[in-house]
Amino acid sequence: MTSADPTRGTYFITEDDLRALTGELLGAGTEVIAPVALDVCASPSAIASSACLRPGVKPIDIEYRALESAAQLNLGSGLPVLSLKQYFLPEYEALCCWRQHGTEIEIEAVPTEFAPRVVLAAKPCDSAALAVVDKVMNWDYADELWNGRREATTIVNLACPVVDESCFCTAVGTAPDDAKGADALLTPVEGGFLMEATTDKGRALVEAHAARFTAEEGAGGAGARGRQAAEERAAARARAAANLEIDAASVRDWIDTHFEDPLLAALGVRCNGCGACSSVCPTCHCFDIVDEEEGIGKGTRRRCWDTCQAPTFTLHASGHNPRDSQNPRYRQRINHKFAIYPLKFGEVLCTGCGRCTRVCHAGQDLVEILQAIDIAARRREAVSP
Amino acid sequence: MSDTVTTEVPVYAGVAELRRIARELLDAGDVRVIIGWEHARRGARPVFITDAADADRLIFDARCVHNLVTYLNPRRDNVAELGKIGLVVKGCDAKAVAGLLREAQLTRDDVVLIGVRCGGVLEEAELPRAAPLGPENVAPRCFGCDNREPELVDHLLGESQPEPPRPLTTIDERVAALDAQPLEKRWAFWTEQFGRCVRCYACRQVCPLCVCERCVAEKSRPQWIEASPHPRGNLSWNITRALHLAGRCVDCGECERFCPVGIPLSLVNRKLQQIVAERYDYAVSDDPEHAAPIGDYRLDDKQEFIK
Ligand code: SF4
Ligand code: SF4
Ligand code: SF4
Ligand code: SF4
Ligand code: SF4
- Please give the model's pTM, rounded to 2 decimal places: 0.90
Which protein residues are within 6 Å of ligand 3, measured from CB?
Answer: B 90-92, 118, 120-121, 139, 141-142, 145, 147-148, 164
- Whether B302 is in a domain gets the answer no
What integer pLDDT is reported at residue B182 of this predicted model? 95
How large is the average pLDDT for residues A214-230? 78
Q: ipTM score here?
A: 0.86
What domain range is B199 assigned to? 171-280
pLDDT digits over A237-283, tens only?
999 999 999 999 999 999 999 999 999 999 999 999 999 999 999 99
Q: Distance between CA atoms of A151 and A201, rounded to whole angstroms?
A: 9
Q: Do A50 and B168 touch (CB under 8 A)?
A: yes
Length of chain B: 307
Q: What's the pLDDT tens digit per position in A82-129?
A: 999 999 999 999 999 999 999 999 999 999 999 999 999 999 999 999
Asked if the structure places residue B293 within a domain, the reply is no
Q: Give yes or no: residues B55 and B148 share one domain.
A: yes
- Tens digit of each residue's pLDDT (9 = 90 or more) over B132-148: 999 989 999 999 999 99
B228 closest CB neighbour out of A274, A290, A312:
A290
Interface probe for A, chosen from B122, B223, B226, B237 (most Cβ of A below 10 Å), is B226
Comparing A151-160, A303-312, B39-48, B215-224, which segment has the lowest mean pLDDT? B215-224
- Does residue B290 sit within a domain? no
pLDDT of B108: 96
* One domain, residues B29 and B144: yes
- Into how many domains does chain B fold? 2
Q: Do B121 and B239 belong to one domain?
A: no
Residue B130 lies in a domain: yes
Q: What is the number of other CB atoms lying within 10 angstroms of the CB of residue B7?
A: 10
Residue ranges per domain, chain A? 10-377
- A321-353 residue pLDDT tens: 999 999 999 999 999 999 999 999 999 999 999
How close does chain B come to A290, measured CA to CA in Å?
Answer: 7
Residue B138 DSSP class: B
Question: How many Cβ atoms sit within 10 Å of the Cβ of residue B141?
Answer: 24
For residues B151-163, average pLDDT = 94
pLDDT of residue A218: 59
* Local confidence band at A383 (pLDDT 50, 70, 90 cut-offs): low
Mean pLDDT of A46-64: 74
Q: What is the pLDDT of residues A168-187, one digit of tens each?
A: 999 999 999 999 999 999 99
E-state strands within B41-154: 43-49, 85-89, 111-116
Please list the alpha-helical segments (H only) found in chain A. 15-27, 124-137, 144-152, 200-208, 224-243, 248-257, 262-265, 276-280, 326-335, 341-345, 355-359, 366-383
| H or E segment and range at residue A43 | none
Q: Is A182 helix (H, G, I), strand (E, B) or coil?
A: coil
In the predicted structure, residue B4 carries a pLDDT above the cut 70: no
* Residue B252, in any domain of the structure: yes
Specify whether B201 is located in the same domain as B113.
no
B48 belongs to a structural domain = yes
- Please tell me whether residues B175 and B271 are part of one structural domain: yes
User: If we measure between CA atoms, which residue out of A329, A328, A312 comes closest to residue A320?
Assistant: A312
Q: Quick one: pLDDT at residue B161? A: 93
CA distances from A368 to A79, A254, B41, B233 (A): 21, 16, 8, 37
Question: Are B148 and B228 members of one domain?
Answer: no
**What is the number of the ligand 4 atom nearest to the C-alpha of B248?**
5
Chain B residue numbers touching A288 (CB-CB < 8 A):
227
Specify whether B22 is located in the same domain as B147. yes
Give domain status of residue B145, yes or no.
yes
Per-residue confidence (pLDDT) for residue B297, from 0 to 100: 82
Average pLDDT, chain A: 92
CATH code at B244? Answer: 1.10.1060
Q: Do residues B148 and B195 both lie within one domain? A: no
Indicate the residue type of B248.
Answer: R
Report pLDDT for B6.
43
